Amino acid sequence: MRRAIGDSGSGQRLIRTLRTKGIRFIGAVREETRLKRATRLAEESRNHALLADHPTIAVLPFGNISGDPAQESLADGMTEDLITALSKVRWLFVATRASCFACKGQALGTAQAARKLGVRYLLAGALRRSATP
């Protein structure tokens, strides 16, 4: 649950662990009126139309297929470096690191991931460490 909403076990910003009890959602909840929701949806649609004119890309978190859990940080580092490098290209809009890593561990199809991240292109990869002589 924490991974799905971007909360960490140490920060416990939205989900707090209660010893011997379980977990509790502690985030602020507010009701959204129909007018506010319609305004928000119109703004999202307008932003989507603006981005449709420009190339947009997201770098999905690289998979670690080496079987070594210690290589997970290397795979994440490669993903972050690619996001940073691509964001320096002025004409290319790149999804943020937080948005990209929100998809980590989720079994999303290509079209579904692109729709969720609001991009036209996806870059995906995997890391495998081979034994060196």
Across 126-131, average pLDDT: 78
Asked if residue 111 is part of any domain, the answer here is: yes
Phi-psi region of 12 (alpha: psi -120 to 50; beta: other; left: phi over 0): left
Q: How far apart are CA 110 and CA 67, in angstroms?
A: 24
12 vs 22, 73, 106, CA distance in Å? Answer: 13, 22, 21
Q: Do 1 and 23 meet the contact criterion of CB atoms below 8 Å apart?
A: yes
Asked if residue 97 is part of any domain, the answer here is: yes
Asked if residue 20 is part of any domain, the answer here is: no
| Per-chain mean pLDDT for the chain | 80
Across 42-65, average pLDDT: 75
Residue 106 has pLDDT above 80, yes or no: no
pLDDT of residue 9: 67
Residue 83 has pLDDT above 60, yes or no: yes
Q: Do 17 and 25 meet the contact criterion of CB atoms below 8 Å apart?
A: no
Domain count, the chain: 1
What are the pLDDT digits (tens) for 6-49? Answer: 777 677 777 788 888 888 878 787 776 777 777 877 777 766 65
Asked if residue 22 is part of any domain, the answer here is: no
Across 91-107, average pLDDT: 83
Asked if residue 7 is part of any domain, the answer here is: no
Asked if residue 93 is part of any domain, the answer here is: yes
**Stronger pLDDT, 109 or 47, i.e. the higher one:** 109
Domain ranges, residue 77? 53-127
Paired residues of 117 in beta bridges:
none
Paired residues of 94 in beta bridges:
57
pLDDT of residue 125: 87
Q: How far apart are the first and last CA of the chain?
A: 42
Burial 60-85 (b: 16+ CB within 10 A, else e): bbbbbebeeeebeeebbebbbebbee
Closest CA to 99 of 127, 46, 61: 61
pLDDT of residue 131: 66
Task: State pTM to two decimals.
Answer: 0.56
> In which band, very low, low, confident or very high, does the pLDDT at 82 lie, cut at 50, 70 and 90?
very high
**Stronger pLDDT, 63 or 45, i.e. the higher one:** 63
